[in-house]
Amino acid sequence: MFTGLIKDIGVIKKISKNSEGVEFIIETKKLAPEIKIDDSVATNGVCLTATKISGSEFTVQAVHMTLKKTNLGDLRPGNKVNLELALRPMDRLGGHFVQGHVNGQGKMLGVKKLGNNYEIEFSAPAHLFKYIIDEGSIAIDGISLTVAQVKQSSFVVSIIPHTYEHTILHQKSGGESVNIEVDMMAKYLENFMKFSNKESHLKNLLEDHV
């Protein structure tokens, strides 16, 4: 579990394909001392497990399904990625609960600077819009953000300078892909309602046959 508050920008040092998918070696001088083997590290919003540690670098494995669902397969050596270590029980929850389970990919459509802040518009897969609401939480490349406006086929977030400058958002341009994770509470509510409706329907059927 993560909070969506990025703690460092890592650098992809090496990429190796294998039968399981792709292995990434990532450099992070700030976080490396805290990472241990088997630790979960959110990488552009994707929960990956550290398999090796060497100095300021750590290694993670992305399986084929992860590469299919996220933009990690587009990474190249030298690219930068958002990093966050797993939430500890004593940590402050400054963002929102982020699982590191990407629901789909979208694209950055444009950036507007309004005073010191930035408004960024993103596209998203059509099936995710039922989870996206004004003032709701959403994770973009692992960054906890608040939705400012939902449009017909896109949504807008408002970002303060600190978040913009201390994540990879300031390096992205229009048309680039992003990983999207919707608010997990919306998905749980949807699942609850689905089963609640089934139970209600079953109850009515039984009563009709009594």
pLDDT (tens digit, 9 = 90+) per residue, 13-23?
A: 999 999 999 99
3-state secondary structure 67-130: HHHCCHHHCCCCCEEEEEECCCCCCCCCCCCECCCCCEEEEEEEEEEECCEEEEEEECCHHHHH
Half-sphere exposure (Cβ direction) of 178: Cα atoms closer than 13 Å: 30
Q: What is the pLDDT of residues 155-202, one digit of tens each?
A: 999 999 999 999 999 999 889 999 999 998 887 888 788 877 665 655
pLDDT of the residue at 80: 98
Q: What is the pLDDT of residues 81-139, one digit of tens each?
A: 999 999 888 777 788 889 999 999 999 999 999 999 999 999 999 999 999 999 999 99
Residues 128 and 180 sit within 8 Å (Cβ to Cβ):
yes
Band of pLDDT at residue 38, cut at 50, 70 and 90:
very high
Q: What is the mean pLDDT of residues 69-89?
A: 95
pLDDT of the residue at 201: 52
pTM: 0.87
Band of pLDDT at residue 207, cut at 50, 70 and 90:
low
Residue 209 has pLDDT above 80, yes or no: no
Question: Buried (b) or exposed (e) across 150-189, using 16+ Cβ within 10 A?
Answer: beeebbbbbbeeebbebbbbeebeeeebbbbbbbbebbee
pLDDT of the residue at 184: 85
Beta-bridged to residue 71, according to DSSP, are none
206 or 138, higher pLDDT = 138
